Amino acid sequence: MFLHQPFGFIRFSGLISLVFIAVWIVWLGSLANAETSEEIDAREGKEFAARLASGRPERSFTNQAVLRVRDASGRKEPVPLQIITRIESESEWSVSYQVTGGSRTETLRIRHRGSEIPIYEAGTRDTAFAGSDFSGRDLALEFYHWPVQRMIRRPKPEMRKGRPCRILESVTSDPTSPYVRVRSWIDLEHLQPLIAEAYDARGNLVKEFSVGSVRKVEGNWELKDLEMVGEKSGSQTKLEFLFTSP
């Protein structure tokens, strides 16, 4: 039967097949775009960043820690560190980073006042602290205070380190900043940054920050370590928290 069908029908059937394939390709493409499509919400981003920036600790405490710095040649240098967090008032707190041993003597003290720009009372915002990949503005998470904050919406929550996250993009036009855009993945449940990528004005990745593992101490979850990678320098710094005391 099929061999005796008119050629016109065969051509028409081929056309239907081609149209069907084209529709199928477009549909598959739309699915792929749906997975990666983004919506930007500046208002929600601003409110969310202000919430992160003004998150005052619940109490004063002291961390004994160590900076493990690995330079581009692979040489490692441990730097003993004490981190003192003090509640100053209902809306103010300070954090002091003090090198406590070795050949270095260095202090970085940052005062936080809610969502206002942090104040550097000792040390500087841009100098590499204790020879590490962390600067003052990194440790202060200053990018959450930048004027432009955009919440990036996607069809599904982004997964980072096995946790569902929201994406926040922070942007500045400050010419003194070594990076002008930071994209952060914020843990949906704990509202803490898990990963942050910092880019310069040309779109090059400058630094990448990520939290490490956590531990449970007296019923509370505490961060064990975090890491900063300098993409341009080829160096890497891990900040390990040894123990916490009141």
Residues 80 and 188 in one domain: yes
The token pair that represents 72 in the structure block: 């581009």
Q: Containing H/E element for 12?
A: helix 7-36
The rounded mean pLDDT for the chain is 82
Residues 74 and 98 in one domain: yes
Residues 21 and 69 in one domain: no
Say if pTM beats, i.e. exceeds, 0.85: no
Instruction: pLDDT band for 167, please (50, 70, 90 cuts).
Output: very high
Residues 9 and 79 in one domain: no
Residues 17 and 58 in one domain: no
Q: What is the largest CA-CA distance in the chain?
A: 94
The burial class, CB within 10 Å (0-12 / 13-18 / 19+), for 155 is exposed
Q: What is the DSSP string of 215-237?
A: EEETTEEEE-EEEEEETTTTEEE
The per-residue pLDDT for 83 is 95
Cα–Cα distance, 12 to 33 (Å, whole number): 31
Residues 72 and 126 in one domain: yes
Distance of CA 12 to the CA centre of its chain: 55
Residues 13 and 101 in one domain: no
Residues 80 and 135 in one domain: yes
Highest mean pLDDT among 5-9, 200-204, 231-235: 200-204
Cα–Cα distance, 117 to 100 (Å, whole number): 27
pLDDT in tens, 43-95: 999 999 999 998 888 899 999 999 999 987 888 888 999 999 999 998 899 99
Residues 95 and 124 in one domain: yes
User: What is the average pLDDT across 105-119?
Assistant: 93
Residues 22 and 58 in one domain: no
Does 36 or 186 have the greater pLDDT score? 186
Domain count, the chain: 2
* Cβ(93)–Cβ(103) below 8 Å: no
Residues 63 and 112 in one domain: yes
Q: Containing H/E element for 18?
A: helix 7-36
End-to-end CA, the chain = 89
Burial per residue of 4-40, b for 16 or more beta-carbon CB atoms within 10 angstroms, e otherwise? eeeeeeeeeeeeeeeeeeeeeeeeeeeeeeeeeeeee
Residues 30 and 97 in one domain: no
Q: Which domain holds residue 145?
A: 39-245
* DSSP letter assigned to residue 59: S
- Which amino acid would we find at residue 149? Q
What's 128's domain CATH number? 2.50.20.10
Q: Is the pLDDT of residue 24 over 60?
A: no
